Amino acid sequence: MTMLPDAKLYIDGVIRPASDNKTYDNINPWTAEPVGKVADATADDVNAAIAAARRAFDETEWSRQHNSRLALVKKYRDLLFANRDTLTQIARLEAGAAMGAANRAHIDGALNGMDDLINCFASVTWEEDRGLRNEYGFDSARIVVHEAIGVVAAITPWNVPLYVNIGKVIAALLAGCTVILKPAPDTPVMGTIMGELAAEAGFPPGVLNVITSSEPAMAGEMLVADPRVDLISFTGSTGVGKRIMEKGAETLKRVFLELGGKSVNIILEDTPDFAMTVMTGMAVFHAGQGCAMPTRLLVPRSRYEEACKALEMSYAGFSTKWGDFDDPTQIMGPVISKRQQERVMSYIELGQKEGARLIAGGKTRPDKGNGFFIEPTCFVDVTNDMRIAQEEIFGPVLVVIPFEDDEDAIRIANDSVYGLGGAVYSGDVARATNIARRIRAGALSVNGGMSITGDLPFGGVKGSGMGREWGLEGIEEFLESKVIATRVA
Ligand code: NAD
């Protein structure tokens, strides 16, 4: 199988190995074999990246030259688009994306989102005239300047790495911040290629830095603890997010957290093509490794048996349609790692112990290859208090919960520590929209509407985090307001 290029650090404008030359293996989830070598950053490397980003922010005009910055980001954008095939290959070989998933959320979603962010740049208000005000007997002319916050550390996960890297890095650069990107240990090349293309685009040294590390916490913890870093933009698990918030308090960091989810998909009894809609509710896209994926399917008690039968049919029909690296139509491959495979399997075991009924899947599939394959899995007869209904599994596992009426559906939807995405289907748009309004989450889809695109704010409430990425809000997240008041009389 094809190899990926070795992943190198990008620090202060230089692409280089780790200071002690150490590397680790980049593992291909399809085969469990190494697919390349990755520079394993030392503490000295992390320090050098922070120093470079600090210097580039404090000692250059980067944050103030909006137009030349935009021009460079556009050049960078062109290079990322020109490397679309390489990016697709990286998503397939290190994130384990099936071709159909790589093309959609992984690459096109990320690249189109980048264009959305660039388009949003024109709507950023950099300065506002707040007029004269007489206070204590004299006039002051006031302006409010919206300026870049400073040095941003972007800490990203492995599930849709390009999408998350772009959502943070492009928005922060457009805002005028300097950035240290720390990708997840499992998806390093999707980070380091962003460094290589930034070098090719001609970014000033230190404006973007990329550090890769085999150790999940080391570099991240250094970034969170360091007073030279002004803001942490983190996407990952809720547990690590809490730790970042706690550790970041010591240096009063601004912290933005995009965390886990356990989103609902509510299908009301009056939904036209009820069975068909239920069938599309399988949690199989990218093997269920999507933070906003609706993994709790809520169906009306009055049509529960019909819904279970429809799901049995759809999972049976899907059984031969996943796990093929070369099939361009497939949307599901392996999960990311052995560790993740074991974690998901432990939840499948737990679901059976909790009394849920398995109607599809439930096993690993060594026949698909040496990689980390888990069958598309569906539990019915789930109650919302079960751990499989409450905890994020992050694998191809759907749980199906019956509800009595609209109030009950809303109650179940909100009875979760999470609040990221969600979907409601009904023949009555007003009824579905009313339910969507009452669900505590960041992005709701009604009758299949697309609630996650690069021009819209994305983020969660409750255990799903705080702050918004993408859209104008995603750029403004990296700005701070400053008042300048001049005494005029
Ligand atoms: P993770 O929390 O284990 O790791 C995320 C990143 O944090 C990685 O780069 C990791 O190296 C780093 N990290 C780990 N420990 C750290 C520490 N102590 N201090 C600082 N950094 C640390 O998450 P993951 O397993 O890579 O990704 C899966 C999780 O991400 C899921 O929970 C998923 O829901 C979530 N996710 C959320 C969104 C969103 O936008 N809400 C998007 C994608 C993924």
Q: What is the pLDDT of residues 25-69, one digit of tens each?
A: 999 999 999 999 999 999 999 999 999 999 999 999 999 999 999
Cα 183 to Cα 223: distance, rounded to the nearest angstrom: 13
- Please, what is the Cα angle at 484 between 479 and 487, to 5 degrees? 170
| 364: amino acid identity, one letter | T
CA of 157 to the centre of ligand 1 (A): 5
Mean pLDDT for 189-214 is 98
Identify the pLDDT of residue 449.
98
pLDDT band at 2 (very low <50, low <70, confident <90, very high): confident
Identify the pLDDT of residue 1.
61
For the CA of 340, the closest atom of ligand 1 is 25
Three-class DSSP labels, 77-128: HHHHHHCHHHHHHHHHHHCCCCHHHHHHHHHHHHHHHHHHHHHHHHHCCCEE
Mutate to test the pocket of ligand 1, among 38, 155, 390 (most ligand atoms within 8 A of CB): 155
Cα 90 to Cα 78: distance, rounded to the nearest angstrom: 18
CB of 158 within 6 A of ligand 1: the answer is: yes
Mean pLDDT for 352-379 is 97
- The domain limits of the chain are 9-259+464-486, 263-453
CB of 157 within 6 A of ligand 1: the answer is: yes
- Identify whether 308 is a catalytic site residue: no
Average pLDDT, the chain: 97
pLDDT band at 326 (very low <50, low <70, confident <90, very high): very high
Cα 467 to Cα 420: distance, rounded to the nearest angstrom: 12
Mean pLDDT for 120-130 is 98
Residue nearest to atom 26 of ligand 1 (CA): 157
CA of 394 to the centre of ligand 1 (A): 12
Identify the pLDDT of residue 303.
98
User: How does DSSP assign 126-182, residue by residue?
Assistant: -EEEEEEEEETTEEEEEEEEEEE--EEEEE--SSSHHHHHHHHHHHHHHHT-EEEEE
Mean pLDDT for 387-396 is 98
CA of 183 to the centre of ligand 1 (A): 9
Choose the CATH number for 263-453 among 3.60.15.10, 3.90.550.10, 3.50.50.60, 3.40.309.10: 3.40.309.10
CB of 260 within 6 A of ligand 1: the answer is: yes
User: How is residue 136 written in tokens?
Assistant: 């204590």
489, pLDDT greater than 90: no
CA dist 227 to 171, 245, 361, 429, Å?
22, 14, 48, 50
CB of 263 within 6 A of ligand 1: the answer is: no
Which CATH architecture fits 9-259+464-486? 3-Layer(aba) Sandwich (3.40)
Residue nearest to atom 43 of ligand 1 (CA): 291
Residue nearest to atom 42 of ligand 1 (CA): 291
User: How is residue 408 written in tokens?
Assistant: 């009950």
Residue nearest to atom 31 of ligand 1 (CA): 237
CA of 274 to the centre of ligand 1 (A): 36
Out of 120, 291, 308, 378, pick the active-site residue.
291
CA of 242 to the centre of ligand 1 (A): 11
Share of the chain above pLDDT 90, in %: 99
Identify the pLDDT of residue 96.
98
Share of the chain above pLDDT 70, in %: 100
Out of 94, 196, 258, 469, pick the active-site residue.
258
260, pLDDT greater than 80: yes
Please choose, from the candidates 460, 453, 457, the residue with its C-alpha nearest in 3D space to the C-alpha of residue 422: 460
Please choose, from the candidates 51, 45, 52, the residue with its C-alpha nearest in 3D space to the C-alpha of residue 19: 45
Identify the pLDDT of residue 130.
98
Q: Is 485 exposed, middle or buried (0-12, 13-18, 19+ CB in 10 A)?
A: middle
CB of 392 within 6 A of ligand 1: the answer is: yes
